[in-house]
Amino acid sequence: MIAEKGVEEKWHLDSAAIGSWHVGNSPDQRCINKLKENNISTEHRARTVELDDFTKFDWIFGFDHDNISELTKKQKKVKKETKAKIALFGEYDPQKELIIEDPYYVGSASPWSCCFSNKGEIAGFDKCFEQCMRCCKAFLDANT
């Protein structure tokens, strides 16, 4: 998307988690498959949000209110002035779906069942991807 707009040299994109339980791992295979379907490659390994991210990045997005709360707490631990604006990524969704659900949990009978049985439905990954693409486009349209 940033390449299509000709602004890839102006942007540094990264992805990081609040929790550390998957640090060093590749994305879920269903995520990798969805990215491949859309000609998006990833060599990314999971990492956590670090304190220096708040001085390095202009924007840090969360997918739900718990993410925003955790990011805000973490930003307050930074000893120097930060430049990162923390925002709910869904605020950019033209369809007004504010919360981007973790696709790993979508379609499960209980929020914890897939932690043990890996039952997140592929439809959850499709929806997450579509929401993220809408939000990315709207964000870039507003900020480039």
* pLDDT on residue 120: 56
Q: CB count, 10 Å around CB of 138?
A: 16
* pLDDT on residue 42: 83
Owning domain of residue 86? 2-143
pTM of the model: 0.85
Residue 117 DSSP SS3? helix
Question: What residues are annotated to the active site?
Answer: 102
Assess contact for 107 and 134: CB atoms under 8 A. no
Q: How many domains does the chain have?
A: 1
CATH number (domain holding residue 19): 3.40.50.2300
Which segments in the chain show pLDDT lower than 70? 107-120
* pLDDT on residue 117: 40
Q: In angstroms, rounded to a whole number, what is the distance separating the alpha carbons of residues 38 and 97? A: 22
* pLDDT on residue 103: 87
* pLDDT on residue 111: 47
